[in-house]
Amino acid sequence: MILETIGVCKRFGGLKAVNEVSLQVEEGQIYGLIGPNGAGKTTLLNTIAGVHPPEAGKVFFKGQDITGLRADKICHIGMARTFQIVHSFPNMSVLENVMVGSVFGSRRPVDKPAKKAAEMLNFVEFPLSHDTLAGNLNTIQLKRLELARALATNCKLLLLDEVAAGLTPGELIDLTILIRKIRDNGTSIIMVEHLMKLIMDVCDKIAVLCFGEKIAEGTPQETIENQKVLEAYLGTKYVL
């Protein structure tokens, strides 16, 4: 098992944004998290990645209790994440942006960070010159940049938050292929996603959150047939 949460809770004032959520993600899995807006998906990723510690419950990564560990420490032991809103350094080149990932993502000084960054850009099939300024990229190019930067930290687990938002159908196919390639290269993935087509195409297992609680879990097929999920999220007339 690469990641386990046991009874994780996170409140904002009186609101239970994440309420006793337990998940188990196996090594090599692509694990999807779905649910309505405000269900607590991003908050759950934040408690896993150390952005804010859970008030109750435990998080284990590669068998190690990481509950309450700071985000940079969690990154150093092999967990990376992308954000719903892409954060890049617009006045830096694409290569420099990825170098930030390789330099800050590791505990020790990195040998040849530019070489590593270039390798990661090639891995994500970045289509433009590596000295292009990040501020000049379109949506899919920014997503590739963000993935390269996350992978440059040598992560074993990658958390993706709505990485498909804003893509065209063609770009979505490219992203699907890239997500599988990342997994096949040895990185497990937890992805929050609204696009059911992407979820159904790539995920081995899905959990559904609703008002902070996990209401269902299973294979993609089991999940879309689950009555609770249809009522809470997909709608009773859901057709793939």
Cβ closer to ligand ADP: 165 or 200? 165
**Bridge partners, residue 24, by sequence:** 4
Residues 156, 62: contact at Cβ < 8 Å?
yes
Cβ closer to Mg ion: 59 or 163? 163
By the rule CB under 6 A, 17 interacts with ligand ADP: yes
For the bound state, the minimum distance from the C-beta of residue 155 to ligand ADP, rounded and expressed in Å, comes to 21
Residue 156 CB contacts under 8 Å (≥ 6 apart), including other chains: 2, 62, 78, 79, 186, 187, 188
By the rule CB under 6 A, 14 interacts with ligand ADP: no
**Per CB under 6 A, which of residues 31..60 are in contact with ligand ADP?**
35, 37-43
Number of residues that bind ligand ADP (CB under 6 A): 11
Cβ closer to ligand ADP: 38 or 53? 38
Cβ closer to ligand ADP: 96 or 162? 162
For the bound state, the minimum distance from the C-beta of residue 36 to ligand ADP, rounded and expressed in Å, comes to 7
Cβ closer to Mg ion: 81 or 116? 81
Q: Which residue is nearest to Mg ion (CB)?
A: 42
By the rule CB under 6 A, 81 interacts with ligand ADP: no
By the rule CB under 5 A, 46 interacts with Mg ion: no
For the bound state, the minimum distance from the C-beta of residue 10 to ligand ADP, rounded and expressed in Å, comes to 8
By a kind-dependent CB cut-off of 5 to 8 A, residue 40 interacts, out of ligand ADP, Mg ion, none, with ligand ADP
Which tokens hold the place of 104? 């800050």
For the bound state, the minimum distance from the C-beta of residue 104 to ligand ADP, rounded and expressed in Å, comes to 23
**Which residue from 139, 195, 145, 194 is spatially nearest to 167, judged by alpha carbons?**
139
For Mg ion, the binding residues (CB under 5 A) are 42
- Binding residues for ligand ADP, per CB under 6 A? 12, 15, 17, 35, 37-43
